[in-house]
A and B are shown apart, each in its own frame.
Chain A
């Protein structure tokens, strides 16, 4: 009964006003719950139509001495699976898409240089997709 209530309440929320906004905020909340032993810092919402060949560019200042964790959550109802690449001055540092085509749950970055970094987000095979990226830090 408790589970049913939670599910129905969630449905009700997504059916009322601010549909898209409520959905993306819900996804942020759900995704933030899954960051494990990390502390939430900020979130990014990405939505791209099918056949988009240019990834969305996001920028963040990362600080020396911090270990960052980026968790990706894909929205339901979209085929696309988000591919993120953390980049420093054009050089890709780490991606959630492995060379064998599989995804890792999260990517981490142990920062040794304060500065601006970019996160490029696209959807595998240029499919339509919507996703949330949660940026958090891990305490050493």
Chain B
């Protein structure tokens, strides 16, 4: 019994020290970020939209996990070829390149997790670790736990939760510390890769649900452009805006019509469920879809070859 108490006290002291160290290093990292990465674009130019509105838009962006879930629900098998190569990660030498590609790899991680391809997660993880460390947000990513869960093929739900919440925390931290420019790039990278994956699946095996999702992404695209345009005074951002505007141009031919339906409410296992019966019709021709796919591929290629 004494031995157990002694062990318990030892664990407590150790975990207490560890917590203190973590907290201290976390504070140090935050302090460093405040000084070493000033949000110069914020200081030089006023934002076109308020910081609150921008936070709202970034919060709004749907998670890449949702696109991965939709892809998986179509029954299309996993395809390693769709994923971005991590071999060029060492060439990414600016915050701009690193943040965009971190978004790309983050989305790929969601795709890998969704298909439970835990064995392939490690190379993706190494790239994410490198880029997030370079952007000084690596402390939000619990690499060791993710690596352990992936290597041992343990609890996929936990793996998914830790991966997604780590990215959410990174994004939240960036915005809280006036680094919304980096956050907007992270979100853009994720969106482009999510769209790229959906486009590749549709090209390989036409699917009405995914085709519709590609079409209704028109709604998100406008918001994405709005936040990126805030930083157009930076030439790299200006080029990215031009690329995204090319995608938007192809979306001009997509029309979305919504017909309202009578909703119903049901209660299942303590959950009150609102069943909407609205009907959304996305009109997207084969030609327009092909053009959207081509423009997404071009932009994605530009990002991964920066």
| Cross-chain contact of B15 among A12, A43, A64, A140 (Cβ < 8 A) | A12
B-chain residues with CB within 8 Å of residue A106 when the two chains form the complex: 270-272
| Cross-chain contact of A59 among B12, B59, B63, B273 (Cβ < 8 A) | B59
Kindly state the interface size class of chain A when it binds its partner: 35 or more
B-chain residues with CB within 8 Å of residue A116 when the two chains form the complex: 60, 219
Contact at B23–A86, with CB atoms within 8 Å? no
- Contact stretch, chosen from A34-42, A46-54, A73-81, A123-131: A34-42
Q: Which of B60, B272, B279 neighbours the largest number of chain A CB atoms within 10 Å of its CB? A: B272
Kindly state the interface size class of chain B when it binds its partner: 35 or more
Cβ proximity bits B256-279 to A, threshold 8 Å, 1 near / 0 not: 101001010101101111111111
Contact at A115–B219, with CB atoms within 8 Å? yes
A-chain residues with CB within 8 Å of residue B290 when the two chains form the complex: none
| Cross-chain contact of B60 among A60, A66, A95, A137 (Cβ < 8 A) | A60
A112 and B278 in contact (CB under 8 A), knowing A28-B165, A61-B220, A93-B263?
yes
A-chain residues with CB within 8 Å of residue B263 when the two chains form the complex: 93
B-chain residues with CB within 8 Å of residue A63 when the two chains form the complex: 62, 66, 70, 213, 216
| Cross-chain contact of A5 among B12, B63, B270, B279 (Cβ < 8 A) | B12
A32 at interface (Cβ–Cβ under 8 A)? yes
A-chain residues with CB within 8 Å of residue B11 when the two chains form the complex: 5
B-chain residues with CB within 8 Å of residue A9 when the two chains form the complex: 12, 15
Contact at A61–B160, with CB atoms within 8 Å? no
A43 and B12 in contact (CB under 8 A), knowing A63-B213, A96-B272?
no
* Closest B residue, CB atoms, query A17: B23
Q: Which of A5, A17, A63, A116 neighbours the largest number of chain B CB atoms within 10 Å of its CB? A: A63
Complex CA gap A133/B209 in Å reads 29
Complex CA gap A35/B257 in Å reads 33
B76 at interface (Cβ–Cβ under 8 A)? no
B-chain residues with CB within 8 Å of residue A5 when the two chains form the complex: 8, 11-12
| Cross-chain contact of A94 among B69, B213, B272 (Cβ < 8 A) | B272
B301 at interface (Cβ–Cβ under 8 A)? no
Contact at A109–B276, with CB atoms within 8 Å? yes
A-chain residues with CB within 8 Å of residue B157 when the two chains form the complex: 39
A-chain residues with CB within 8 Å of residue B59 when the two chains form the complex: 42, 58-60
**16 pairs, CB–CB < 8 Å, chain A vs chain B:** A4-B8, A12-B12, A17-B24, A18-B23, A18-B27, A42-B59, A43-B165, A59-B60, A63-B62, A64-B280, A98-B272, A106-B270, A108-B274, A109-B274, A113-B280, A137-B66
